Structures are given as structure tokens and as C-alpha cells.
Amino acid sequence: MVLVLRAETGEKHGSVKRVAHQLDVSVESLRSWVRQHEIDHGERPGLTSDQADELRELRQEVKELRRANAILKSASAFFAVELDRPQR
């Protein structure tokens, strides 16, 4: 609706506020949705929704891998000590 209104009137200012009141949503919410739409369609620089999702997933994977790495390092140290003990 915002994009249609902008195309019809040729004005960028005020269209988000007008549509937000018509839809009974927060102006800032609608503004951020329009901004993200513009980013996703290459009209504005920034991180697209797909890129943001991928980045979130990759950060989660890195977190899990670091945790697994720490566990493996602890286990390695534990077994190294066990192997160094003299046998009876």
C-alpha cells in the first residue's frame, strides 16, 4: 500500500504515516517493513532477509562448534593425563 501510494502521489514523505493509520499499525513498524522490502528488492543498501537468516544460522552453528571444540579439548586433556599415569 505504501509503495502504491508513493507511486500514485509521487511523494515519499507522509505515505507511511497515512497507511499506518489506515491499517492501525505502528508507524515505526510499517516504516521498518517498507525499509526491509526496499533492501530485499535492491532499492536500498543493506542486509537482505535471506542474508540475515543465513547469518543467524551461521552464528548459531559457530556457537555450537565452539562448544563442541571446548568439550573435545577437555576430553583430550583428560585422556592425555590418564595415558601418562604409570600402569600398575
Mean pLDDT per 10-residue interval, the chain, length 88 residues = 89 89 94 94 93 97 98 92 76
Phi, psi of 83 (to 5 degrees): -75, -25
Burial class (CB in 10 A: 0-12, 13-18, 19+), 63: exposed
pLDDT at 12: 83
pLDDT at 85: 76
- For residue 33, give the amino acid letter: W
pTM for the model stands at 0.66
pLDDT at 82: 78
